[in-house]
């Protein structure tokens, strides 16, 4: 057993995933000579609307339960996938959950806000304040509960922390086993880069496994140097938890491209807007408008221009709930 697997087997972990998420060929997308297009279905993680944050929450809430927490706090914009998945996981685990949003309370709940209401979670709407102000407010709420004798656990930085990144280090182990079972010896994996948690976990896990995958991180938010710095920070945090050093800096372990990010997080590009409908009509699989779609645009361009051949894989990180708030008609 690899040192990474040994560590993951003993660290506190809430078992949330029903099993490995599917890895299967795509029927029509990126199909051309010399290319084997695949999709890793992390939109099918088994709880709530599904998505990548379930992997991070396995380790974060494993830590929370080990510490005896009785309340979980998470924060994000009103359509935050993290918030909805945290609420769903807390329902599964029998934990109280409160969400903090930097937006006004809408007259009508749509998308993830509707799911949050169905989950019965308590939501705080602070108005259009900055993300920093929102997070400070959440920390003050946590301290208030501590003074009342409660034991809150705060999910920080969108779960993009060293502990949260263990979820995608574990996903690298899972994907390596699936590739072996399918007889795939070389794979180029296209993954999203927002605040860096998913990408950092994948890159760290892949490096500790000896680099079985070529990883292309498609930034959906920041310029490449900023995203790289975020990933380095998260990997340093993960190293401190596991005691397993990363063998090289991020820029030597993956390719980060910011070519497809457009105006950044939450801002569509013409290509990503078209991809939402095109992918559904080719594969019968839904993506959302401003995050997962940009990764597919990048993958298609790399395949079309010959920068990626052989087995190529799109990591579908979910976000299905937010899709229902992205269209007025």
Spatial contact of 290 and 220, defined as CB atoms under 8 Å apart: yes
What confidence score (pLDDT) does residue 265 get? 80
Which residue segments constitute the domains of the chain, with CATH numbers given? Answer: 3-50+161-323 (3.40.50.1100), 53-159 (3.40.50.1100)
Averaged pLDDT, groups of 10, the chain, 329 residues long = 93 96 97 96 95 97 97 95 96 97 92 95 96 96 97 95 98 98 97 95 98 97 96 98 98 97 86 95 92 95 97 95 77
What confidence score (pLDDT) does residue 323 get? 82
Instruction: List, for residues 186-245, the tens digit of each pLDDT value.
Output: 999 999 999 899 999 999 999 999 999 999 999 999 999 999 999 999 999 999 999 999
Spatial contact of 9 and 284, defined as CB atoms under 8 Å apart: no
Query: CA 138, 289, 80 angle in degrees (round to 5)?
Result: 15
Residue 87 has phi, psi (to 5 degrees) of -60, -40
Spatial contact of 279 and 314, defined as CB atoms under 8 Å apart: no
**Cα separation of 38 and 311, whole Å?**
7
What confidence score (pLDDT) does residue 241 get? 97
DSSP of 141-187: HHHHHHHTT--EEEE-GGG-SHHHHHHHHHHHHHHHHHHHHHT---E
By the 10 Å C-beta count (0-12 exposed, 13-18 middle, 19+ buried), 308 is classed as buried
Tell me the two tokens of residue 160: 């993009």
**Cα separation of 121 and 108, whole Å?**
16
Count the residues in the chain: 329
**Cα separation of 108 and 176, whole Å?**
44
Q: Which residues have a Cβ under 8 Å from the Cβ of 308 and sit 6 or more positions away?
A: 35, 188, 190, 216, 299, 302
DSSP of 277-312: HHHHHHHS----TTTHHHHHHHHHHHHHTTSS-EEE
What confidence score (pLDDT) does residue 328 get? 63
Closest CA to 294 of 267, 270, 327, 260: 260
Query: CA 255, 44, 3 angle in degrees (round to 5)?
Result: 55
Instruction: List, for residues 248-284, the tens digit of each pLDDT value.
Output: 999 999 999 999 998 888 788 999 999 999 999 999 9
């Amino acid at each position: 057993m690899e040192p990474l697997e040994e560590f993951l087997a003993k660290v506190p972990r809430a078992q949330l995933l029903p099993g490995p998420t599917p890895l299967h060929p795509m029927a029509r997308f990126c199909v051309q000579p010399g290319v084997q297009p695949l999709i890793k279905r992390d939109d099918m993680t088994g709880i709530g609307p599904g998505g990548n944050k379930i992997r991070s929450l396995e380790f974060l809430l494993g830590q929370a339960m080990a510490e005896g927490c009785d309340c979980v706090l998470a924060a994000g914009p009103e359509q935050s996938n993290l918030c909805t998945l945290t609420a769903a996981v807390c329902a599964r685990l029998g934990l109280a959950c409160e969400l903090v949003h930097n937006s006004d309370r809408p007259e009508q709940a749509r998308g993830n806000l509707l799911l949050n209401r169905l989950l019965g979670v308590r939501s705080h709407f602070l108005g259009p304040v900055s993300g920093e102000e929102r997070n400070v407010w959440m920390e003050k709420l946590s301290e208030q509960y501590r003074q009342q004798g409660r034991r809150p656990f705060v999910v920080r930085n969108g779960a993009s922390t060293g502990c949260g990144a263990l979820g995608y280090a574990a996903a690298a182990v899972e994907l390596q086993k699936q590739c072996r079972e399918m007889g795939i010896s070389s794979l180029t994996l296209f993954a999203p880069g927002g605040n860096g948690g998913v990408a950092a976990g994948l890159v760290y896990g892949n490096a500790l496994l000896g680099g079985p995958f070529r990883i292309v991180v498609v930034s959906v938010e920041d310029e490449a140097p900023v995203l790289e710095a975020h990933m380095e920070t998260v990997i340093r945090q993960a190293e401190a938890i596991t005691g397993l050093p990363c063998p090289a800096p991020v820029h030597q372990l993956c390719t980060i491209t910011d070519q497809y990010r457009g105006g950044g997080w939450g801002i569509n590009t013409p290509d990503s807007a078209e991809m939402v409908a095109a992918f559904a009509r080719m594969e019968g699989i839904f993506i959302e408008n401003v995050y997962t779609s940009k990764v597919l645009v990048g993958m298609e361009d790399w395949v079309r221009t010959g920068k990626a051949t052989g087995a190529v894989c799109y990591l579908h990180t979910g976000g299905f709930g937010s899709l229902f708030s992205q269209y007025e008609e």
